[in-house]
Amino acid sequence: MPRIRAWALSAPALLLVFLFLGLPVLSTLATTFGDPEGPFSQYAAFFESRFRMTVLWRTMEVALITTAVSLVVGFLTAWVVANSPPRAKSLLIIAAVFPLLTGVVVRSFAWLIILGKEGILNDTLLALGLIDAPLSMLYTQFSVVIAMIYLFVPLMILTLVGVLEGIPQDLTDAAASLGATPAAAFRQVVLPMAVPGLIVGSVLVFTGSFTSYATPQLLGGERQMMMGTFLYQRAMVTFDWVGASTIAAIMVVVTLTTVLLMSKMARRLNPVAG
């Protein structure tokens, strides 16, 4: 009876999810298999195209770099926040959340001002005499990655702060009393217990950066096209809806595969995280 009652209570929500999320995704996937040349001809054309594969690998590279850097920066920041006094902790959390109150487009435009040839960074480097001419930093992979890290580090911090706060101080004190160095206590006590937050934060950052559109479009342009901008181009510029659906299907598969792999990694590192 409890199980039946639980299913009955969740049925309306599950129905809404299926109608407004599952059904559109399934219909999008179905259109990719209706080509007269064969059910997998659209996917074959995608993976046989050097340009499309370049876009896919570039997107994967940007997403992985963004995730790795955000993981390191976010963990260190979250560690400082979690071990700060209550008043300072509140201020630090507000500072971490504050960028999220501004739209993605606005934050991306800010990087146009910072990284432009007449932007703040070039003016500073010229004033310090470190360069002789302005650097071309816009519309490069560097500009996209920097902006992505700025966008997603707050998510990583917020995810990890709660996890690190939940680690009892008694455990690290016990490890120290048994002769463990701070580095050993961190590696053997703190890090394994932080695995759930690390996995969740990594999934959020990877999926967000892999499917991002506004930031790659503004800071990467046509030279650094990614899957999100490529999808928009196929759907809204060339009106190739089947090609756009194929790109969307590949993005869904990559995202789900990443989530499954990270969940498996979490179970290996910490069975409680799975």
pLDDT value at residue 273: 45
pLDDT value at residue 198: 87
pLDDT value at residue 11: 84
Task: From first to last of the 274 residues of the chain, give the pLDDT tens digit.
Answer: 677 777 778 888 888 888 888 888 888 888 888 777 878 888 998 999 999 999 999 999 999 999 999 999 999 999 888 888 888 888 888 888 888 888 888 888 889 889 888 888 888 888 888 888 888 888 889 999 999 999 999 999 988 988 888 877 777 777 777 777 777 777 777 787 888 888 888 999 999 999 999 899 988 888 889 999 999 999 888 888 888 999 999 998 998 898 888 878 777 766 554 4
Instruction: Find out whether 194 and 172 touch, Cβ atoms under 8 Å.
Output: no
Instruction: Find out whether 144 and 219 touch, Cβ atoms under 8 Å.
Output: yes
Residue 228 tokens, joined: 């999100």
pLDDT value at residue 250: 92
Cα 44 from Cα 183, distance rounded (Å)? 49
DSSP type of residue 113 = H
pTM over cut 0.95 = no
Cα 259 from Cα 269, distance rounded (Å)? 15
Of the CA atoms within 13 Å of residue 154, those in its CB half-sphere come to 15
